[in-house]
């Protein structure tokens, strides 16, 4: 069986963890990344963990000619996991055209090449952002999607539609969209993790950078939500658990178990935690005191969301295994290694 997997965005946060899982399971991986938000050194760290450095090419999949040339040279790719995308919610409001061009055109270019070169299988990185603030919790895959709150969120929604329509039109195509809840943490080796450029927008990197002394305080956005402690609730999932779900999705596609052609899965833990619970949990596992202050709500934030993971449990046989404390500790160990803290 041909087992060469293309991972776009494979030097990024979720991508690098997924490359490790694929290689550990025996797959041959080729990474394409434009390195706009990641570092080439990640490949060496992937090698340290999994014993193998993946093949690598640097270009943007939004470039149609380069993408075509790549697939023309790699006709033996069995499946694609498409992570490569711009992902900062706030930035997408400032630079909507960049977000639409980069995120939509790259998927279109890939799908064009799949049809042209006969590559059937693709796994697409989607997000729970497509649900907006759901009317009912937890959310299942059939919970109606809502209008996106940002251009970034809209690119996820539109890309899901593009994939679904392409699968309908070309029976040889098979696609799985994975809707991630909030990925956090790092590989237990602390060799790979999330390294945001500039000031982190996401909660856990902001917490670990504050604890490391890079930021003076964490701002907790809102304590007047309709939740037990007033802060907003999310479903935080360990990035290694998330990466493992990609391996299962790839195997489902390669073994032709995806009967409808296009499928969607929620990837979360099924548990919701508030911002303040995350802060307290971090303080507990690290023994550190975090400097934080409660401020106004952040524009565009929803109040609460967590996943119903029944479909992924049943169909993929996948379930998040790591607990919150272990995950927060892995995030801290990663931050410590990156900053040289003992």
Is the Cβ–Cβ distance between 236 and 184 less than 8 Å? yes
CB contact set of 188 (below 8 Å; sequence gap of 6+): 240, 330, 333
State in angstroms the smallest separation of the CB of 79 from ligand UD1: 23
Tokens of 317: 């046989």
- Residue 117 or 221 with smaller CB distance to ligand UD1: 221
Residue 270: Cβ within 10 Å count: 18
Q: Return the residue of 159, 182, 238, 309 that touches ligand UD1, per CB under 6 A.
A: 182
Report the alpha-carbon distance of residue 299 to residue 11 in Å, rounded: 30
**Binding flag, residue 219, ligand UD1 (CB under 6 A):** yes
Q: Return the residue of 59, 117, 170, 221 that touches ligand UD1, per CB under 6 A.
A: 221
**Binding flag, residue 220, ligand UD1 (CB under 6 A):** yes
Binding to ligand UD1 (CB under 6 A) within 68-87 occurs at 87
If you write DSSP's letter for every residue of 53-116 in order, what string do you get?
PPEEE---TT-HHHHHHHHHH-TTEEEEEE------HHHHHH-HHHHHHHHHHHHHHHHHHHHH
**Binding flag, residue 99, ligand UD1 (CB under 6 A):** no
Residue 194's nearest CA partner among 235, 237, 247 is: 237
State in angstroms the smallest separation of the CB of 229 from ligand UD1: 12
Query: What is the number of residues in the chain?
Result: 342
Q: Return the residue of 202, 251, 285, 290 that touches ligand UD1, per CB under 6 A.
A: 202
State in angstroms the smallest separation of the CB of 166 from ligand UD1: 23
Q: What is the number of alpha carbons within 13 Å of residue 19 lying toward its C-beta? A: 35
- Residue 227 or 258 with smaller CB distance to ligand UD1: 227
Say whether 152 is catalytic: yes
- Tell me the number of residues near ligand UD1 by CB under 6 A: 22
Tokens of 298: 């952040």
Of 13, 152, 225, 262, the active-site residue reads 152
- Which residues would be at the binding site for ligand UD1 (CB under 6 A)? 87, 89, 127, 129, 149-150, 153, 182, 201-203, 206, 218-221, 232, 234, 275, 298, 301-302
Residues carrying an active site annotation? 152
């Amino acid at each position: 069986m041909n087992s060469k997997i293309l991972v776009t965005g494979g030097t990024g946060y979720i991508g690098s963890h997924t490359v490790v899982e694929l290689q550990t399971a025996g797959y041959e991986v080729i990474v394409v990344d434009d390195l706009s938000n990641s570092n080439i050194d990640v490949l060496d760290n992937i090698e340290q963990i999994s014993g193998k450095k993946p093949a690598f090419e640097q270009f943007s999949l939004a470039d149609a000619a380069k993408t075509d040339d790549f697939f023309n040279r790699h006709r033996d790719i069995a499946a694609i996991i498409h992570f490569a995308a711009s992902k900062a919610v706030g930035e997408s409001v400032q630079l909507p055209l960049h977000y639409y061009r980069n995120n939509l055109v790259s998927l279109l270019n890939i799908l064009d090449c799949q049809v042209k070169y006969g590559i059937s299988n693709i796994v697409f990185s989607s997000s729970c952002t497509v649900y907006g603030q759901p009317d009912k919790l937890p959310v299942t895959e059939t919970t109606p999607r809502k209008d996106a709150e940002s251009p970034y969120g809209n690119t996820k929604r539109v890309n899901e539609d593009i994939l679904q329509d392409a699968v309908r039109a070309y029976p040889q195509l098979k696609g799985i969209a994975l809707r991630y809840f909030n990925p956090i943490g790092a590989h237990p080796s602390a060799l790979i993790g999330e390294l945001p450029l500039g000031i982190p927008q996401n909660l856990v990197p902001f917490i670990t950078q504050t604890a490391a002394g890079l930021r003076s305080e964490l701002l907790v956005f809102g304590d007047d939500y309709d939740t037990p402690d007033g802060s907003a609730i999310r479903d935080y999932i360990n990035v290694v658990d998330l990466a493992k779900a990609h391996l299962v999705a790839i195997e489902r596609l390669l073994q032709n178990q995806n009967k409808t052609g296009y499928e969607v899965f929620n990837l979360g833990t099924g548990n919701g935690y508030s911002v303040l619970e995350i802060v307290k949990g971090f303080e507990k596992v690290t023994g550190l005191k975090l400097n934080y202050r409660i401020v106004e709500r952040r524009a565009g934030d929803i109040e609460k969301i967590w996943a119903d993971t029944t479909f992924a449990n049943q169909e993929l046989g996948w379930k998040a295994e790591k607990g919150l404390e272990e995950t927060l500790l892995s995030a801290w160990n990663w931050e410590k290694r990156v900053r040289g803290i003992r």
